[in-house]
Homo-oligomer: A and B are copies of this chain.
Amino acid sequence: MFVNISNKKVYELVIEQIQDKILNGELKKGDKLPSERELSEQMSVSRTSIREAIRVLETIGVVESKQGDGNFICTNIEKSLIEPLSMVFKLNEGTWQNVLELREVLELQTVKIAAIKATKEDCKELKTIIGAMGKENSMKKYNSKKIIQLDQRFHNKIASISKNYLIESVFITSSKLFERFIEDAREKIIENYRDEELLFENHRRIYEGISKNDPILAYEEMKRHMENIRESYIKTIG
């Protein structure tokens, strides 16, 4: 049951009640919410207020509406961090250095955790990505789009090896921010990087550190990789 409400800012109180039920574990991923009519009766508020609350929860990625089927507690809410963080970025007149720095903060520590926690299964997946990268790398016609895709898969996989949803969420948000605001320069960065034939070598060594469950090696190689990205970025931007 939901508690009766008698106060102003009604839609916010509706949101609070639903959030509380998530925070105390009563509502879980994939759970269906009562219908809007039922919610409005249980809380003694108008259906408009319920609808407003649901819309807010939808936008911040906590609730998913399935047409004709009702409202569900969402499973992909890690996506919801990107919009607020993008705004933080723009409203504070963020620079590419800010984005790179955040990425460095996350990559450098996450790779250590990944090196400690990586299972054989995890390493096999990473190896597949590295293999594909190596193949692309040896091609005469260099396909930066494919390399970028593989690069993203590699880094996101490292985040997921951390087996920590919080870290993964923040990590993925920072990658998206990177894509969104550095995208234009990304292909050129990759090209510059390749001139020094370092890109593949860096990734291969990071993989080595993780697969040997050696956090220090993984960290050192990730650090080198981040320094190379930074240098390549500066070269590209001029």
Contacts and interface: CB of A to CB of B under 8 A. Distances in A.
Interface of A: 11-12, 15, 19, 22-23, 25, 28-29, 52, 55-56, 59-62, 73, 75, 77-78, 80-81, 83-92, 94, 97-99, 101-102, 104-106, 108-110, 113, 162, 164-167, 169-170, 174, 177
A194 to B, nearest CB: 27
Q: Is the interface of A mostly helix, strand, loop or mixed?
A: helix
Contacts of A92: 29, 165
Question: Which 3 A-B residue pairings sit nearest by Cβ, starting from the closest?
Answer: A105-B109, A92-B165, A80-B84
A165 B19 contact: no
Contacts of A162: 101
30 contacts: A11-B55, A12-B59, A22-B87, A23-B86, A52-B52, A52-B55, A55-B56, A60-B60, A73-B91, A75-B91, A77-B84, A77-B91, A81-B84, A81-B85, A85-B170, A88-B166, A89-B165, A89-B166, A94-B165, A98-B166, A99-B166, A101-B162, A101-B167, A102-B166, A105-B113, A105-B167, A108-B109, A166-B174, A166-B177, A170-B174
A109 B99 contact: no
Contacts of A108: 109
Contacts of A88: 77-78, 81, 165-166, 169
A105 B75 CA distance: 24
B62 A84 contact: yes
Contacts of A91: 22, 28-29, 73, 75, 77
Contacts of A113: 101, 105
A73 B78 CA distance: 24
Nearest to A78: B88
Contacts of A167: 98, 101-102, 105
B105 A84 contact: no
A171 to B, nearest CB: 9
Contacts of A15: 59
A86 B25 CA distance: 12
Contacts of A12: 59
